[in-house]
Structure 1
Amino acid sequence: MITNEFWLERWQTGRIGFHLEGINPKLIDYWPTLAKQSRVLVPLCGKTNDIIWLAEQGYQVTGVEISSLAIIEFIGDNDLTYETEHKGKIKIHHINELPIRLIEGDYFDFQENQFDACYDRAAMVAMPTTLRKKYVEHTLARLADDAFLLLISLFYEGEKQGPPFSVDDTEITQLWGSKIRKLASENLMETQTEYRDGLYTLFEESVWHIDQK
């Protein structure tokens, strides 16, 4: 059963293989140029430095994360300072050095909307089948009608099961709607040795856009 406690325990025990060091190259390659001060949402952000990169492009970045440990490590790893306010069930950590807010709490308790863009590298694929539709609907409700989405998905075959979960193209289109478009795919078994452990016969990472402009 994938619950908030499951993810909190993963952070506490350091089992965070989903964390990507450095900046995700696909973010750099496929993120468009948006207006300065655009509001960018990063669901289930962990301690990714991708939000640093987005902030450095001139965007107002909001990351949402259940684990206080992930937030503490992000702040400490980057030598940042912050101020915290409480708002209902969530805490809002305002980073002083960059236009970043870290929302500590359950993503489904986060109700702000009218974000100009969303970056999802490992959020949708962290959701089991029972929560995936709820996650997508909640995310779309956070976005403005003309918002941009960069989604990175996984589809794999083999013995090992998620999380991260395998989500095929048909389900992605059903969940996100007809405006989503696949831009690129890469079989990670061909480029990264850690996927050649015999547990997979295919491990494909794909990049998707919703661009309303």
Structure 2
Amino acid sequence: MITNDFWLDRWKDGRIGFHQEGIDPKLIEFWPTLPKNSRVLVPLCGKSNDMIWLAEQGYQVTGIELSPLAVVQFLGDNELSYETYHEGELKVHTVKELPLRIVEGDYFTFQEKNFDACYDRAAMVAMPDSKRQSYVTHTLDRLSSSAFALVISLKYDGENSGPPFSLEDSSVISLWGNQIQKIASENLVQTNPQYKERGYTFFEESVWHIQA
């Protein structure tokens, strides 16, 4: 059962294979130039340094993360100074050096709206089938009607059932709507030996966007 406690335990135990060091190359390649100070939402952000890159482009970045340990590690690893305040059940950490804040708590209790963009590298694929539609609906409700979104999905064979979960292209379109378009895909088995070693014959990472 994939619950909040499941993810909190993963962070406590250091089982965070989903975390990537450095900046995701697909973010750099496919993120468009948006107006300065555009508000960018990063759901289930973990301690991803992709948020640093987005903030350095001049966007107002808001990451949402359940695990206090992930938040502490992100702020500490990047030597960021910050101020913290409570907003209902959520704890908001505002970074002083960058236009960046981390909202600590359950994403489904985060209610701010009218974000100009969303970056989802590992959030949708972390959601079990029972919660996936609720996640996407909640995310779309946070965005303006003209918002840009960059979403990364996975599709793979083998015995692993997730997380991260494998999604067919048709499922991604069904979840996000016909406005989402696939713009790139890569079979990681061909470029990264670890996937072949783990028994996959294909492990496809696809990049999607919603472009207003």
* 2-structure distance, mates of 1:4, 1:202: 30
User: Which residue matches 2:142?
Assistant: 142
Secondary structure of the 2:202 match is strand
User: Which residue matches 2:89?
Assistant: 89
* 1-structure distance, mates of 2:135, 2:160: 23
> Is the CA contact 1:63–1:103 (under 8 Å) kept in the aligned structure 2?
yes
User: Which residue matches 2:151?
Assistant: 151
Match for 1:55: what amino acid? A
User: Which residue matches 1:199?
Assistant: 199
- 1:1-213 superposed matches below 5 A: 1-212=1-212
* 2-structure distance, mates of 1:195, 1:201: 8
Count of aligned positions: 212
Secondary structure of the 2:103 match is strand
Structure 1: tracts of 5 or more residues without a match:
none
Deviations 1:68-112 (A, max 9, x none): 100100011101111111011100000011010100000000000
* 2-structure distance, mates of 1:171, 1:9: 29
TM-score, normalization: structure 2? 0.99
> Is the CA contact 1:19–1:47 (under 8 Å) kept in the aligned structure 2?
yes
Shift, 1:199, TM fit: 2.6
Match for 1:123: what amino acid? A
Match for 2:48: what amino acid? T
Secondary structure of the 1:201 match is coil
Match for 1:134: what amino acid? S
* 1-structure distance, mates of 2:171, 2:196: 26
Shift, 1:198, TM fit: 4.4
CA RMSD of aligned residues (A): 0.6
Structure 2: tracts of 5 or more residues without a match:
none
> Is the CA contact 1:63–1:101 (under 8 Å) kept in the aligned structure 2?
yes
Deviations 1:150-173 (A, max 9, x none): 001000111112000001100000
> Is the CA contact 1:160–1:200 (under 8 Å) kept in the aligned structure 2?
no
State the identity %: 65
